[in-house]
Amino acid sequence: AITHTANILGRTFNELTEAYANFATEEQPERLLHIIYWLGKLAIEETIHNKKRTVTFSPVLRERLGHHIHGEIWADKIKYTLKQHELLGRPIHIISANMHSVMNTLFAKSALKQARGKKEMLQLYQDLSKSENYILRSKVEKLAKQNGMIYIPDESGTNIDVQIFDSDKIDFSATDFNYQESNKADKAIIFVMDYAFGEQAYETMDELLKPFNGQGDKTHLNVRSISIMGKAGILEGGKGDIMIPSAHIFVGTADNYPFNNELNKTDLEDCGVVVFEGTMITVLGTSLQNKEILKFFKKSTWNVIGLEMEGAHYQKAIQAASKIRGNINDDVKVRYAYYASDNPLETGSTLASGGLGTSGVKPTYVITKKILEQIFNT
């Protein structure tokens, strides 16, 4: 049996003999063969009968994998940068989004006056989203940096880049926003972090919201609002529609996170997009999006409108920091909005099925503009 197993695994007889002894127990001397047999059997069933397997990791193992370590390094660099630029005590508004929509909303109108011509801003945003228009994007980025944008490329291993915008350096007369704050100490800092993935959302947000410890001094961040936007699967509607959640349910657990969303359906209904309001499911991974689960949630009393992968993790970190640990103000405002990448009940697609193309441009900028309006105009 060991000889055949060695051939199957591509290992030598001596290697298998040594491993066989290491795995053996008094109750089950052939334990190694049992493990290999069942791994093979499950793999065959997965291929032939389409029986999917779910692999889960304990919190201890996840910690050892380093998400928390990377998140701490990532957050520390950001806080040191804020300290270096004397921004640490200013009101901070965190936005989890992509690396272009906030920057383009603030600066594209001014940077691309000639290129825009008579085009609507939506058409200009669509042009900016096309890969061949890197010259247009570079013009917007150049103007943003000239007006105080700080770009922090990730070096921690989180793969989450950051942009920091100082409202004191922005010419609001060249934007669509009416920002009236005159006291520099009270002027908003817009902190944009790239998309996190799954439980990484908790690790990074949890670390970011902790106080800054520099040379023995502990400084709490003055976080006024946290806005989360991204793509999600929708259960009623189609690609490009917008979902406004009132709660996050963490699938497979009893965890649910209701919250007061500063965004609501009426905020976006006059923007030319279809809007749904209700509960969002946070799934462990795209492989768990089978139709039976989705049908159950759609028909249940949970009032589920869509599914995504980070919402419950973000909200868990926010509630812990604001309601339990006291790291940030307990009245911090939260905003969540998602644009639909697809309807998996109709197409069978998952959140990993690819980009939206230009169909995602309109909802992305509708959400971005509404978030910035609430920050600057109120």
pLDDT digits (tens, 9 = 90+) for 188-208: 999 999 999 988 999 999 999
The CA-based dihedral angle spanning residues 22, 23, 25, 31, taken in that order and rounded to the nearest 10 degrees = -150
**Structural Rg of the chain based on CA atoms:** 24
User: Domains in the chain, start-ordered, CATH in brackets?
Assistant: 2-48 (no CATH), 67-376 (3.40.50.1580)
In the predicted structure, residue 302 carries a pLDDT above the cut 80: yes
**pTM of the model as a whole:** 0.80
Residue 63 pLDDT grade (very low, low, confident, very high; cuts 50, 70, 90): low
User: How much is the pLDDT for 286?
Assistant: 54
- Name the H helices within the chain: 2-9, 13-23, 31-48, 59-65, 67-84, 101-111, 113-116, 121-129, 134-146, 200-208, 265-268, 291-299, 311-319, 344-347, 361-376
**Alpha-carbon gap, residue 234 to 241, rounded angstroms:** 8
Q: Are strands 304-308 and 223-234 parallel, antiparallel or unpaired?
A: antiparallel
Q: Taking Cα atoms as reference points, which of 191, 142, 141 lies closest to residue 166?
A: 191
> Tell me: the pLDDT tens digits for 25-43?
989 999 999 999 998 888 8
Query: Residue 36 burial (CB < 10 Å; 0-12/13-18/19+)?
Result: middle
The residue with greater pLDDT, 249 or 292, is 249
Q: Which residue has the tokens 């699967």?
A: 233
**Alpha-carbon gap, residue 240 to 232, rounded angstroms:** 10
- Whether 196 and 228 have beta carbons less than 8 Å apart is answered as no
User: How much is the pLDDT for 287?
Assistant: 44
**Alpha-carbon gap, residue 256 to 274, rounded angstroms:** 26
Type of residue at 103: M
**Alpha-carbon gap, residue 217 to 220, rounded angstroms:** 10
Q: Which residue has the tokens 């009236």?
A: 180
**Alpha-carbon gap, residue 190 to 223, rounded angstroms:** 10
Q: Taking Cα atoms as reference points, which of 371, 106, 378 lies closest to residue 263?
A: 371
